[in-house]
Amino acid sequence: MTIRNLDDLLAEGVSGRRVLVRADLNVPLDKQTGEITDDGRIRAVLPTLSALVQAGAKVVVCSHLGRPKGAPDPQFSLRPVAGRLGELLGAPVHFAEDTVGDSARSTVAALADGQVALLENLRFNKGETSKDDAERGAFADQLAALGDSYVDDAFGAVHRKHASVHDVPARLPHFAGRLVLREVEVLSRLTGEPERPYVVVLGGSKVSDKLAVIEALLPTVDRLLIGGGMCFTFLKAQGHEVGTSLLEKDMVETCRNLMERAPGKIMLPVDVVAADAFAPDAAHDTVPADGIPSHRLGLDIGPETVAGFAAVLSQAKTVFWNGPMGVFEMAAFANGTRGVAEAITKADAFSVVGGGDSAAAVRALGLDESSFGHISTGGGASLEYLEGKTLPGIAALEN
């Protein structure tokens, strides 16, 4: 795979030229105040944007936020992001009120060298996510007209066949940004010849969401540690009752088959924190994984499980973690995720946090991000890369 990167573009010279940067600024917003609650994705694109600004480019940033229905929706506006991006860059970011309309064209036309503009939410336009090639292509034509070159630094979106990710690169000289290049380099280490023991920690809600990556990883990993809501379907497959815990009944047989195919590789919780209700103040106790009361649901892995997982992780040389071990947003059920995360940081291993809720947990729990080898910005993209799928955004950047 040969992909031209940002350094190649900078070597060509960008002073006075318009560079269209696809970023992933899909940050969480407080529903009441509209304020950004985690700016990690904004900070992740700063190295690329700063390099272009310093080189004198006219930087035109585009991104999606949330899932609007192909039309403007104030609750999904990128305006708050423009403000925060300007604070982090140390210079005002000019905000276009639309994506490819009059405001976008005039805002871009008014940029001076070294200035930055942010276009309004890409998904306010139906063409961005359309499955119709012609409709998507027409939108890509309009978007590409705002740049002389294109840089993709939105790893969290490269698994989507969207106009700004898949179609625009075909219309402009295209390059991978610093973040995308780093993500590909890191994940390639995991799919190549990782140093062993290679341990993968998977959590999250559903087995069905992670089935493809489990199938892909089982032949290559040394141990697979499973927590989160998905563990209860595995426990059910072992013949245990799981009370009112999250359960995918149609996946029980699949989980049983996975464990039979890889005996000894899959490690499940031996104890869980079971609660009366899904609530932060619910009554709860730690119980054996094979003794969950019928009226309770598991919301976290227990301390014995954390210790067991930590013992395995202490021997690892390569670690990939995707998905929290429990409902970490509630303090009473955050200890499992915190314990496993801290065990990963203490391991003498190259560690990768697979984006999404795992990355959010690292920040929400106040853990030192530099203690991990790499924190991915793309949960779904990371998993699909490890599954061996062709990612449309990466394929579009290949020469």
**DSSP calls for 342-388:** HHHHHSSSEEEE-SHHHHHHHHHTT--GGGSSEE-S-HHHHHHHHHT
Q: Residues forming the annotated binding site for ATP?
A: 210, 298, 329, 355-358
Q: Measuring CA to CA, which residue among 213, 154, 210 is closest to residue 377?
A: 154
Give every CB contact of residue 234 below 8 A, 6+ residues apart in sequence.
Answer: 207, 226, 255, 259, 266, 268
Q: Residues forming the annotated binding site for substrate?
A: 24-26, 41, 64-67, 123, 160
Cα 278 to Cα 285: distance, rounded to the nearest angstrom: 13
Question: 337 and 299 in contact (C-beta within 8 Å)?
Answer: no
Q: Which residues have a catalytic role annotated?
A: 41, 206, 356, 380
Task: Work out the number of other CB atoms within 10 angstroms of the CB of residue 346.
Answer: 12
Looking at residue 84, its amino acid is R
Q: Residues forming the annotated binding site?
A: 24-26, 41, 64-67, 123, 160, 210, 298, 329, 355-358
**Residue 34 phi, psi dihedral angles, 5° rounding:** 80, 5
Q: Measuring CA to CA, which residue among 384, 48, 399 is closest to residue 184?
A: 384
Q: For residue 298, give both structure tokens.
A: 């598991």
Question: 44 and 29 in contact (C-beta within 8 Å)?
Answer: no
**Helix or strand or coil: residue 269?**
coil
| 83-87: long-range pairs with CB below 8 Å, 24+ | 84/36, 84/39, 84/42, 85/25, 85/42, 85/49, 85/61, 85/116, 85/118, 86/116
Cα 141 to Cα 128: distance, rounded to the nearest angstrom: 11
The torsion of the CA quartet 146, 49, 395, 99, rounded to 10 degrees, works out to -30
Angle (CA) 47-152-89 rounded to 5° is: 30
